[in-house]
Structure 1
């Protein structure tokens, strides 16, 4: 996670191999196909925001259990929350299984990236976490807790540096046929260490290896497909998303390859949290679980959003990620399908001209103006659900969002394109008015407006107090 000393990745992800977790491969979840919308803040079955940030998933029988961070407003530790689901969309809150009152050292702390595995030999569920002191990131410790039940209270066993000497920040677990491993970022996140755990999974037995000395990678997520182990990671750029990369090996102990890029340059505005094998009656698919951290736009961790994408495999030793605004999951069958976006031209009523990113620019701060329709990708917009009845307008050509510059609330504030985040200055309400629609900015309540009701090519687009002018009225046509 991000700290006061240097940019720290928000963390690491665990992935359990379906064949390696005895409790995780019972009967398939009996559930109908569901659709999950990306780039939103999920809610639980009671309608409350779902706080499983930086989390991991463990399957027990017909249920998936999702553990993750639940933070205070100042981003310090409140609880590790757990939810359960049969279909991976309807999540029932089961409780806060580790809290500030669980141990004295947790009363003021940062607890990040909790991951849980089951130890069949001891009959206990074991949770590992990254632990800091709540004020800075100088501790760099691993912490351990365990429970006799998957969603019961976890007993805190304390925190330490692995083998008494190694820094441990971004953390994940991986279990492989009764042997468990912990992978963590060490040496100020410049190294990634793989450790073998003791038989009870409560401590570190040995260092398997430091295979990427000086690579400056973090947020590890390990999984196995066929005979290949994959380790997915991010770079270290604070809260801001970056290019994910992965390495592969025939064994946890190596030899591991170098790094290969996957996804786009910001991993679609997210950071790896977990890779979940979804095993069903017809196949096993692999689901990327990413966090779109609110820290990237100055918000608290609990305002963060989720990005879930299907992983595809061009070969037995390669993986790829593509963007989809939503995905359909059939947990019973084990299939995950990405749903391609629909694009629209957005036309001003008064001029008949469309919203256009000038010069086909893909840069941040590029101007948005009106021009005659020419069919270009810079005139095509995806309406992405942002939750709460709002949408983000994402340009096909750039993948960037329609944005009120500087989150200004003033009349005349400029409208541009900018890298998508969770800011309310990128969220718009599509409001019906006389057969047309206004686009109202969530942060200001003001309307998308063509300056001076100009009808010419190149007229600027701004935000302005909503009125009855046709220069604030728009239509959309799928293209």
Structure 2
């Protein structure tokens, strides 16, 4: 459907109706209502670690980037982007879980060979909603041609089962408008909406969908002209609609904001900041209501895009954090390295606190632990340098749950390493690709008093040390036998 001009709304609805009729004989068996499904065992409370990749029940990576969730029966189904190394479309992949930690791969619900238009394409931000009238699960996406980002279209596919093969219906510009980052939302009354960044992300449009959820019926309103918001995620709490968005800074994280309204079609507040200045190194993908027997919690689902440090989309990490609500029309979000989730009761809570990233400042010099020359490469050297808030001085202290941490550089997503697991003094440390089994990337934090700590290598029991007690920029950092020197004492200072 690569028409030179966008089809008219009337033609579009008619074409989709004909298409649906022609495809009906090929449809899969309709999904059973929740009451008829086999019973699902109650999920036990779980702990989820932030800023890491997830794996499925086979140990393979979970590739559900930019995705969304839908609950069917006792399962949460998670759909997202699964890309080739050149970032082009490979699959929309689907996983399911009862506890939000244990993910079972179900299907690549949309593939390159699902339609000619998908053979070379970019598919982003897939979201699924269910239409109880038609019995169809409807998948909406941002579609580009796989070569550049000039097309700016939405695409639609449907299935009779939540994790079945989806039938691709085509792509188009909604009512002739360009459309980039997008989401869909189904309201309590059954009306569904498309929210999409338009006019090259300058504006955000809200559209009402057709009754079958496969087309756009009308433009409801345009929000925040010239505000450049993307990555929309909408949810409703106590009769108030919340709309979460990010700024438009490509792969780099930025300050997320939210807005509220009493009606989707009514007046929206101006966007209000939440989280820190980089949303804890993430971009919004979805906000999931976790409804249980005792309460309903709201869980922010974000992507920490690997392209921000030169990686590939499928190397991206996940950041999931509980939202809290001081009032019915306000929200807050704080960093926690882990969260606890109880899908039975609906309780979601932070475990620990602090900052997503920190600088590590040597006591004797006041200078920061720094990856030299902002290098992204394995083997790049580590030194002290005047603190300057660069990403090569930001570290995530990733708790391994064993009494040890990995120290992960924000700019490169690589770990502080003693090369070759060398055990001697004066071995210069470096950054290397993180590998959880490597003990030469694992560090114990030991209180040194007065707000400082020693950072002790697990494999050698030696301390992180500024060589020669130097106070100069670019002085190398090594491991050395632990002592009382202030060049082995480091202060954690949160990055905001």
* Whole-Å separation in 1 of the counterparts to 2:316 and 2:403: 17
After superposition, the Cα gap between the structure-2 partners of 1:103 and 1:247, relative to the gap in structure 1 and judged at 3 Å, is same
Q: Secondary structure at the match of 1:153?
A: coil
Aligned position for 1:330? 342
Aligned position for 2:465? 450
**In the alignment, is residue 221 of structure 1 matched against residue 236 of structure 2?**
no
Aligned position for 2:191? 179
**In the alignment, is residue 315 of structure 1 matched against residue 327 of structure 2?**
yes
Compute the displacement of 1:439 (Å): 6.6
Equivalent position to 1:72, from 79, 84, 88 = 84
When normalised by structure 2's length, the TM-score is 0.73
**In the alignment, is residue 438 of structure 1 matched against residue 457 of structure 2?**
yes
Runs of 4+ off more than 2 Å: 22-29, 354-370, 385-395, 398-405, 411-416, 422-428, 436-440, 447-452, 454-464, 468-471, 473-478
Aligned position for 1:384? 398
Aligned position for 2:352? 340
Compute the displacement of 1:214 (Å): 1.1
**In the alignment, is residue 462 of structure 1 matched against residue 476 of structure 2?**
yes
Compute the displacement of 1:261 (Å): 0.2
* Whole-Å separation in 2 of the counterparts to 1:329 and 1:59: 16
- Identify unmatched segments of 5+ residues in structure 2: 1-31, 356-360, 375-381, 386-394, 418-425, 445-454
* Whole-Å separation in 2 of the counterparts to 1:292 and 1:197: 30
* Whole-Å separation in 2 of the counterparts to 1:273 and 1:431: 32
Compute the displacement of 1:341 (Å): 4.3
**In the alignment, is residue 127 of structure 1 matched against residue 146 of structure 2?**
no
* Whole-Å separation in 1 of the counterparts to 2:295 and 2:64: 27
Q: Secondary structure at the match of 1:208?
A: strand
Q: Secondary structure at the match of 1:113?
A: strand
Compute the displacement of 1:415 (Å): 7.6
Asked whether the equivalents of residues 294 and 301 of structure 1 are also in contact (C-alpha less than 8 Å), the reply is: yes
Ranked by relative contact order (alpha carbons within 8 Å, sequence separation 6 or more), the top structure is 1
* Whole-Å separation in 1 of the counterparts to 2:364 and 2:252: 24
Q: Secondary structure at the match of 2:442?
A: strand
Residues 360-380 of structure 1: CA deviation (Å, up to 9, x unaligned)? 87999899759xxxxxxxxxx
Compute the displacement of 1:180 (Å): 0.6
After superposition, the Cα gap between the structure-2 partners of 1:394 and 1:107, relative to the gap in structure 1 and judged at 3 Å, is closer
* Whole-Å separation in 2 of the counterparts to 1:116 and 1:135: 26
Aligned position for 2:61? 49
Aligned position for 2:111? 99
Q: Report how many aligned residue pairs link the two structures.
A: 413
Name which one, 1 or 2, has greater alpha-carbon Rg.
2
* Whole-Å separation in 2 of the counterparts to 1:159 and 1:167: 12
When normalised by structure 1's length, the TM-score is 0.76
**In the alignment, is residue 252 of structure 1 matched against residue 260 of structure 2?**
no
1:347-366 aligned within 5 A: 355-356=362-363, 359=366
The alignment's C-alpha RMSD in Å is: 4.3
Compute the displacement of 1:392 (Å): 3.8
- Identify unmatched segments of 5+ residues in structure 1: 1-21, 344-353, 371-380, 406-410, 417-421, 441-446
Q: Secondary structure at the match of 1:238?
A: coil
* Whole-Å separation in 1 of the counterparts to 2:191 and 2:300: 24
Compute the displacement of 1:429 (Å): 1.2
Q: Secondary structure at the match of 1:295?
A: helix
Compute the displacement of 1:393 (Å): 3.2
After superposition, the Cα gap between the structure-2 partners of 1:323 and 1:394, relative to the gap in structure 1 and judged at 3 Å, is farther
Q: Secondary structure at the match of 1:277?
A: strand
Equivalent position to 2:180, from 139, 164, 169 = 169
Residues 62-83 of structure 1: CA deviation (Å, up to 9, x unaligned)? 0000000000111100000000
Q: Secondary structure at the match of 2:323?
A: strand
